[in-house]
């Protein structure tokens, strides 16, 4: 295996949209190029996905998450969150708290973060961002 990648929420949204439209879009092409990678999502991303679903879509949500390793925050993630928050706040570059948790999970584990919103996440020092 080539390593693990953390997929940020925009990737899952794009994949679902591409699938629904039967399109071979950028998210699908990215994942094909990295077919040997272990795919992960953060607990925060799992929660964000629920926000876009209807009340009866819990089974579909479980089916989606079954495809990925779901990474939960630990004390190292909490430390990374605080350090990232302080640096971004002090420099007037603050991003949303959910994105901070996603970035902190990736930094704490030393894993690349895949996102359509790469410009946003590149504010985070020490985060390996992979756009598509």
Q: What's the pLDDT score for residue 64?
A: 87
Give the chain's domain count: 1
Q: Kindly report the pTM of this predicted structure.
A: 0.92
Task: Note down the domain range covering 67.
Answer: 4-131
First-to-last C-alpha distance (Å) of the chain: 21
How many whole angstroms separate alpha carbon 107 and alpha carbon 113?
9
pLDDT tens for the chain, residues 1 to 132 = 469 999 999 999 999 899 889 999 999 999 999 999 999 999 999 999 988 877 778 888 888 899 999 999 999 999 999 999 999 999 999 999 999 999 999 999 999 999 999 999 999 999 999 999
CATH number at residue 50: 3.40.50.1010
**Vertex 102 angle, CA 104 and 19, to 5°:** 155
């Amino acid at each position: 295996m080539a390593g693990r990648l953390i997929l940020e929420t925009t990737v899952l949204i794009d994949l679902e949209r591409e699938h629904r439209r039967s399109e071979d879009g950028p998210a699908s092409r990215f994942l094909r190029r990295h077919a040997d990678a272990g795919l992960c999502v953060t607990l925060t991303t799992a929660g964000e996905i629920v926000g876009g679903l209807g009340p009866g879509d819990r089974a579909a949500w479980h089916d989606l998450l079954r495809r990925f390793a779901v990474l939960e925050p630990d004390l190292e993630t909490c430390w990374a969150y605080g350090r990232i928050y302080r640096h971004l706040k002090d420099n007037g570059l603050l991003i949303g708290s959910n994105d901070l948790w996603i970035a902190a999970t990736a930094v704490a584990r030393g894993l690349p973060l895949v996102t359509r919103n790469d410009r946003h996440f590149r504010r985070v020092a020490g985060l390996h961002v992979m756009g598509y």
